[in-house]
Structures are given as structure tokens and as C-alpha cells.
Amino acid sequence: MKKFLFTALLLLTALSLAACSAGTAQGSSRQAGSAESAREEGFTLEGEVNGEINISCYDFTYESLLNEAAEKFESKYPGTTVNVNLFSTPPEIKTMEKDGMKMAIITTEADPQAESDYIFKSGNDIMSGQGADIYAIDVLPYYKYVQGGYLEDLSKYMDADTDFNTSDYKSNILNAVKYEGGQYIMPLSYSFDILTYDPEILETAAEDIFNGKEAMSLAQVLELTTGFADEYNVAREEPVKLINYGKENLFSTLFKNNYKSFVDIENKSCDFNSGSFTDLLNMVTAYADNGYISDSVFGMMKKGGGEAGSGAPEMPDFEDVQRRLSTAYMLGLQGNQSLFNMLNKDAEVTRMFMSSSSASAENHEIGALSANDFGDVEADVFNMFGMNSNSKNKRTAWEFIKFLLSDEMQSSLNIISLPVNNNARAENMKLEVVEELFVPVEEREAKELTPEQQAILDEYAGYIEDYSNQINAVTLTDSKIMSIVTEETNLFFTGEKSAEEAASSIQSKVSLYLNE
Amino acid sequence: MSDYFIKLKARSAGLGFLLPSLLGISIFFIWPFASTIKYALYDKPIGGSFAGLNNFVELMGNPAYRLGLKNTLIFMAFSIPLNMALALSSALVLKNSAHRKLFTLIFLVPMVIPSGSTAFFWQKMFAKNGFLNGLLYSIGLSRINWLDSEYAMAVIVIIFAWKNIGYNMILFLSGLASIPKEHYESAHVDGAGRLRVFLHITMPGLAPTFVIIFIMNVINSFKVFKEVYLLTGSHPNESIYLLQHFMNNMFNSLNYPRLGAASILVAAVAGIAAIIFVKMERQV
């Protein structure tokens, strides 16, 4: 009896240790069967669009879109209820005014703890069977969820749904976000970047730099322009900078362009120690030290909270912002929205929505489509969604995702940049030309296009579609990896670590993360 | 016949008293552990197929797990003996002290302070611009990134000792009190010196206490993760990446099969270690 008690006590000691770490690991294995059967061939859509679905998102930019979609969806399908749960704090908006000019500064503070808490909560909810039906793929480690079988492959819903026609959407964008051959993520919109230049500064040098190439990387263009910049600025008191980027922003952009060479998610490997990462850090520092780049407008935000500088950002000086906005830069890296402004410089919206990367952008001309360092034309994708494999109302969840892709929702003002829906994208471009894109739907007039507007639309749509068709990659960066890289490189930029120390630290942390 | 009923009644009463704890243990420990075993034997928690011992094999080859295991063992190897030695020394000093109660209270304070508050204190102490670096700077030395350097392990050993010495000291004081005074008196009569008394009376008399404290320290050494996590996040400097980091991150990425396998191995190792120590204690 004593022996039995002793053994039982030892077992309990061991169990208490293991239960500390795995006590919450009680999942809903009862759902396993349903997920298994769903993978079988001959999948059909079953059930009715009815009942309640929950959508969970962390990023505040999803909220207004989802609220609008939920309201419209519930009207379209009586008997359904869509609950939208947002977990991050909306940004702080500060405005300032001087001489009739208004400026709004929207600040979002990254909150790694809140982000980590959200990921923890989402995982816990999914495993306990209490998870949302649809998750916004904003900060969640989507590939880890796919590997664990927690996200539905939406391809089978797309195939099985006779109302869903893949050709209605920008298929290269949908294909670019596929993971291990499955459509686990559904993006609603996308954007691409273009490299621009100031023709008054570069003049004929632009031809040598861009040399008729349709797509180039920012690193290439910067390298080719430095020689010209040296000559151009030789006798100038105030040298013209290459681009309106601070070193942190420039590093971030160049790093993303080269992300694949540093991080290989599928093979769980990373390469920050080979020298190319330190070369990148040193190159950005050299650009900054030699005065080729400047602080961005956002870099002017001062940190409050006394000497420690840990408080909320303070408003920048108005004159300083104005001065920087009127500064000319040789080059620009601008989103596709700037294309319309460059093609239609007289439009009122041109002045309203100029890219913040360079205020002189309205004088810029298109140089080339921006590509990554491997020559791939990459898109940024927005508002991505995935369906929980454990969802108890998959039929309604799919219908909601499909609704988000419909002409009606894709034309929403809450859609960021270019809709993946072809009809909505064409309609949006037309509305942009007649300057009604940002007018509420009920106030829009059915304007006929003038011949001039039609010409602008043809040119604009031609560029958008041509460039969109060249997109062949989407790099979905991992938020954890990006946070490690940002944290360590900031230590490098503030002089607290050498490039080698930062690279080595990133290598060990990212390697650990990928191999867990 | 009446004896039989008396015994049966006594046994029933005993079982009745045991039942609530048995129920609690079954719900909160045995059932989750059984689920953990199930997860460990499947390749995926949802829609997975039986994988036998594959998760265990993969786990042993996993560099992150091996690093976590290595660091945890290094941490235990340093922190547990250090903690026990300091606690025993404190107990011996306080054993006959007039201020025993006051110091016991002071030593227990770290145990009642929430980890969140202590993490804030340690952050201020060991931050790059923290108190300790301020001291170094004031005497002309360069600052050290305590939590992201080779010193990080030493920092968590200090944190562990700060938090646990008081508790261990009380257990040692209780163990010391249980050693019969006659043993010391006989030794004194026989002319034994302090060292000889310590080695031949105090130490053997404390053997059962040593085993309990060791087991408690092993358990508590896993709990230091809270402070480490609050100070350095989910992916700290390589030298302080502990097994609990691995398990916590497995949970966050919903890799339950691997988490289950890791938990079972930890339970097995801890169980074996406990058996060995109890057997050693009996031989003393």
C-alpha cells in the first residue's frame, strides 16, 4: 500500500509538471472527423445560409469594412447574424490647422503584447471549439495554422459553388497567396508600387537609369542614381536627396524586397549571417551618412514622455512638415494610386491624395514598375480572411467570404486600393476619373464620360491592368519575424549593436522561431 | 463480524475524504494528461492520423527543443544547488537567532509579490538604461545588455534565488527543528567539532527535507519562465531559451502533437528524477 501511495505521489508530481504546460491542451478532437471528411473528393456545399457567424480581427483597418459587410449580409440573408470582434485599439487621430490649412496625423503604436495576447486567445479559442468562424489573417501565423489543419482550403468551396466564377477575380493575386497549393487565405484587394522620378531634375539621366525596363528594384535604381546625384549636387548648397525615406523606412522596404533570400518559411531556414544582411544594413547607413536620403514625414514624430522618450508621439512642427512636403526628391516609390494622379494632374483628388512618400510626386513621371531583388513583381495584399476548420457554420462563413468578394462589397469605400473583383476594379477606375470614387454611393450621379475622360480612363486602366497582370508574387511576411528584425535593426541604427551583432542575434532568434 | 464493519466504515470514511481531491486530480491533471498523450500520438490535432512515436522522434531532433532542454538543465544545475545552499546557510544562521521571525517574514516577501510587479522591477534593474548599468557607467565601465548577452542566464538564476530562498529556508528551518536535540548533545559530549556535527548529524537529519526541497525546486524552476517571459518575450537570447518557451510557443502556434510529446518527456524525466532522489534519501 505504501509503495502504491509513493508511486502515485511521484506520478502526480510528474503530472503536475506536465499539466502546467499542457493543461490547456484540451482540444476538440470531435471536429477532427468533419475536417477529414471535408478533404474528401466530391465536396459539395451543404446546408443553408443561416444562423450566427463570428469574425475575429486584430487590425483596426478591418473593422469598418466588416461592420458594413455584416449589415449588408444580414439584410441580404435574413436569419443570419454576423458578429465582428476587433481586438486592437483604433489609432489616435490628431489634427492641426494653420492659415486655413489642415493636417491630420494618424498614429498607430505597435503593441507586441496585445498582439501576442490576441494570437494566444485565438489559438485557445480555436482548440476549445469556441473560435470565430472567420479569422482575419492580419497578425496570425497563418502558415502554422495551415500546417496544423486549422484553416479550411477555400479552393474546394470555390470549385463547388456554381455562383463563384474564378475568372471574375484577379486570379494571379489569388494564386500568389496560395500556400502549399491551397487557398487558405482570401485577399480582398491589392496594390503594387511604381518607381517614379522627377523629370526636371533627372532630365535625360532618367533614360540611362530606367533604360526602358518595365520593372526594376528600388535597390537597383538607387544605385544607378547615386552617381548622377553626386554630380548634380556638387555645387548646390542644399543637395537634392535621392528619395524621401528615413533609414529605418528604407531598410524596411529593401528588406521586404529581399525577404525571400533571408527567410525561407517552407524550409524553415533563414540566412542573416551570410553577409548580405549586414551589407544591406551598411548600405542603408551609407545612404543616410552620405545625405542621399532624408527622414520621412513620419520620422518627424517626436516621442513624448520626457527623457526616456517612451510616451506617445507628439505632433510634429507644422512648418517643418510643410517644408518637407514641398521638398523635391529625385526618385519616388509610390503606390498604384499615384498612377492616376500622374496621368491626370488636373484632377482635384490629385491634390488630396498624393502619396506621403514624396510631396513632389505630382511632378513625377513613371520610371518602372517596382520589382523585388529577384525580378518578381510583388503585390501587397489587404484584408485577408481564412475560415476556421472548426467552424460550426461553414456554409454561412463561406457565403460571407464570397459576399466580401462580390461587386457590391468590392466597390465599398472601405476596400483598400485595388479590388480583386474585376468588375469592381473597372467601376472604381471609372469613378476615379469622374471624381466620384470618394463620394458616398447615394450621392453619386450617373455621369457620362467625356471623350477626354474616356481617354484618361483607357490609359489609366491600361496601366493598372498591364501592371496588375505582371504581378507574380506576394510576400506574406511573418509578423513575429518582422518584429524581431525591426527590434534588432533599431538597436543597430541607434548604435547599440554592430551590424554583425544585430545579424547574429536575428539569425539565432528567427532560426529558433522557424524550427520550433 | 463487527471488526469487519468497523474496518469497512473506516475505509469508507477514508475514501470519502479522498474523493474530492481524487475528483479534482482526475479532472485537472489525469484527464488533461490523457488528452496530451493522445495528441502526442497523432500527426495533427484536427483531422490527423495515428503517428506512433514519430512526434517523440521529431522532437528529439528538433534544435529548438534541444536548446530549451539544454538551457533548462544548465539553469537547474546552477540555480537549484545555489538556492539550496543559500537557503540552508540562512536557515543555519537564523536557527538560533532572536530575530528569526522578522527575517523569516522578510525572506517570504518575494513569494507574495506578483510576477508582473517583480518583472517591472527586474526590467528597471537590468535594462540597457537601467539601474545596474547606471552604476557601471558611474564608475567608468561600459553598459551591458544583461538580458540579451551571455549574462542573461546569471540574471535569471538571481531572479530564481531571490524568489525561492525564503520558502526553502523555512523548509530547512522546519527540518532542522525536527532533528532530536539529544543527537547534538551526545556529539557535544563526545567532543565533536562544528563541521563534524554538521556533516554527521545535521546533514543526515535533513536528508528527507533535502529531497522535498529538491523536488519543489525542480517544480519551481519551471515557474521562473513567467518572469523570463515577461522580461524578454517569447524568443529571448539563445542562452535563456527554456523548455517552457518551447512549450508556450508550441501552444501559440497550435502544434499540440509536439507540445504533447514534449510534456510527456518532461513528466517522465521529472518522475524518474524524483524516484532516484527518494531512493537515495532512503539509503542515507
B 31-70 residues with CB < 8 A to A: 31-33, 35-36, 38-39, 44-48, 62-65, 67
Separation CA A345–CA A359 (nearest Å):
13
Residues of chain B in contact with residue A36, where contact means CB-CB under 8 angstroms, are: 47
What dihedral angle (degrees, nearest 10) is formed by the CA atoms of A392, A394, A397, A402?
180
Query: For residues B13 and B9, what is the distance between their CA atoms, to the nearest angstrom?
Result: 6
| Residue with cell string 495576447 | A117
DSSP state of A99: T
Task: Name residue A151's beta-bridge partners.
Answer: A388
Query: Which residues, other chains included, contact A418 with Cβ-Cβ below 8 Å and sequence gap of 6+?
Result: A170, A189, A190, A191, A336, A425, A428, A464, A468
What is the helix (H) or strand (E) element at residue B126, kind and residue range?
Answer: helix B115-126
Question: From the CA of A128, how many Å to the nearest CA of chain B?
Answer: 11
What the block records as the C-alpha cell of A303 is 516621442
**Residue A50 corresponds to which cell in the numbers above?**
443561416
Tell me the C-alpha distance between A248 and A252, whole Å. 6
Q: Exposed, middle or buried: residue A167 (CB in 10 Å: 0-12, 13-18, 19+)?
A: exposed
CA pseudo-torsion sign A227, A232, A234, A237: negative
pLDDT, position A313? 53
Question: Same topology for domains A43-188+381-419 and A193-378+476-515, yes or no?
Answer: yes
The pLDDT score that the predictor gives to residue A295 is 67
Q: What is the mean pLDDT of each run of 10 residues along chain A (516 residues)?
A: 46 46 37 41 83 93 92 96 88 69 66 82 83 92 85 94 94 92 95 92 89 91 92 84 89 92 90 94 93 67 45 62 75 88 68 48 85 91 93 95 96 92 94 83 79 90 94 87 92 89 93 89
What pLDDT, in 10s, does the model give residues B32-47?
Answer: 899 999 999 998 887 7
**Under an 8 A CB cutoff, do B275 and A35 touch?**
no
Q: Is A44 on the interface with B (CB under 8 A)?
A: no
pLDDT tens-digit map of B69-107? 999 999 999 999 999 999 999 999 998 888 888 888 888
How far A7 CA lies from chain B's nearest CA (Å)?
A: 8
* pLDDT reported for residue A37: 40
Q: Which domains does chain B have, with CATH numbers?
A: 64-283 (1.10.3720.10)
- List all residues 6 or more positions away from A190 whose beta carbon is below 8 Å from its beta carbon: A170, A173, A379, A380, A381, A382, A417, A418, A420, A468, A471, A474
Q: What ipTM does the predicted assembly reach?
A: 0.77
Strands (E) in A222-280, as ranges, are 263-264, 269-270
| B30 touches A at CB < 8 Å | yes
In sequence order, the β-bridge partners of residue A266 are none
Chain A closest CA to B33's CA: distance in Å?
6
Per-residue pLDDT at B215: 87
DSSP β-bridge partners for residue A302: A314
Angle of helix B63-95 versus helix A499-515 axis, rounded to 10: 100
Distances in whole angstroms, Cα of residue A496 to Cα of each of A238, A280, B7, B72: 31, 18, 74, 29
For chain A, the domains span 43-188+381-419, 193-378+476-515, 422-473
Chains A and B: how many Cβ contacts under 8 Å?
166
**Is the CATH code 3.10.129.10 the one for domain A43-188+381-419?**
no
Calpha distance B176→B92 (Å, rounded): 8
pTM above 0.80, yes or no: no
- Could you give the residue ranges of the DSSP H alpha helices within A98-236? 112-127, 142-147, 155-160, 171-176, 199-202, 205-210, 218-233
One of 3.40.50.300, 3.20.20.10, 3.40.190.10, 3.40.50.2300 is the CATH number of A193-378+476-515, namely 3.40.190.10
Pair type for strands A302-303 and A269-270: unpaired
Cell of B66: 534541444
Alpha-carbon span A24 to A26, nearest angstrom: 5
Distances (CA, A) of A95 to A101, A103, A300: 10, 5, 15
Burial zone of A72 (CB within 10 Å; 0-12 exposed, 13-18 middle, 19+ buried): middle
Q: Closest Cα of chain A to B1: distance in Å?
A: 24
Q: Say yes or no for a CB contact (<8 Å) between A127 and B254.
A: yes
* pLDDT < 50 positions in chain B: none
Q: Which residues contact A279 (CB under 8 A, 6 or more apart)?
A: none
Res A30: pLDDT: 35
Q: Which residues of chain B make contact with A269, given a CB cutoff of 8 A?
A: none
Name the residue in chain B with its Cα closest to that of A516: B64
Angle (CA) A490-A495-A501 rounded to 5° is 75
DSSP A30: G
Beta strands across the sheet bearing A365-371: A215-217, A365-371, A193-197, A331-335
* Record: contact B251-A6, CB cut-off 8 A: no
Q: Looking at the complex, report in whole angstroms how far the Cα of residue A18 sits from the nearest Cα belonging to chain B.
A: 5
